[in-house]
Structure formats: C-alpha cells, structure tokens
C-alpha cells in the first residue's frame, strides 16, 4: 500500500509553456503542475534525477519571465505519448507568490 504524502504547499494544475530549459530553447515543454515548492514538467528532453535544472516561463498576467532553479526528484516516461517525459522538480528557493496567485485563481 502506498503511503500518503502530506504536502507542504498546494499544487495547481496549469499548462504553462517553458521558454528555456537549462539555457536552451524549450519548444514543446510545459509546466503541468505548479506549487511554491516545485513543479511537474512535461518535455521530450528527459532529465535525470538528482541533476540541477533551470527553466524560465511566464506566469499568467505577468510581462516578465520567471526563472526557477531546482533539482530533478523523479522522471517517468509518458506511456500515452512515446518520447515524452514527466519530471518532478523541487525548487531550491520557495516561490510563495505562486501560491498567492493560485489561491486567488490567477493560475489557470
């Protein structure tokens, strides 16, 4: 039986395009789940667990890009989309503005 994980931050389902991934254009890569402490990414570029990752994206209603830096915690191939992967990222620094935007309904 799987152990239930208590989350420290609310996760918000999103579909935000990633502008750059590790300094390179990231066409076709998306954030599918976002919280103040991390994100779930979907990409055709697999990133190995325990490696550092840096990516940029634009939050809804914001003109400036947001840069996130963290560690890959897990990576799984998408069975429904060969050549695509989901990856869990844990941010080095919490971004509580994301939580505020999610609670106010701005992350849609």
Residue 17 has pLDDT above 90, yes or no: yes
Per CATH, which fold does 12-101 belong to? Thrombin, subunit H (2.40.10)
What are the boundaries of each domain within the chain?
A: 12-101
Q: How many CA atoms lie less than 13 Å away from 12 in the CB half-sphere? A: 22
The four Cα atoms 36, 42, 45, 48 give a dihedral, to 10 degrees, of 50
Residue labelled with tokens 């779930």: 40
Q: What is the pLDDT of residues 29-87, one digit of tens each?
A: 999 999 999 999 999 999 999 999 999 999 988 889 999 999 999 999 999 999 999 99
């Amino acid at each position: 039986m799987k152990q239930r994980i208590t989350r420290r931050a609310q996760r918000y389902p999103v579909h935000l395009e990633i502008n750059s991934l590790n300094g390179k254009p990231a066409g076709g890569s998306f954030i599918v789940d976002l919280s103040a402490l991390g994100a779930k990414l979907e990409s055709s570029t697999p990133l190995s667990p325990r490696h550092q990752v840096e990516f940029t994206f634009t939050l809804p209603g914001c003109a400036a890009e947001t840069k996130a830096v963290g560690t890959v915690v897990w990576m799984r191939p998408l069975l429904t989309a060969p050549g695509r992967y989901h990856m869990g990222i844990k941010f080095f620094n919490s971004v509580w503005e994301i939580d505020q935007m999610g609670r106010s309904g701005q992350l849609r």
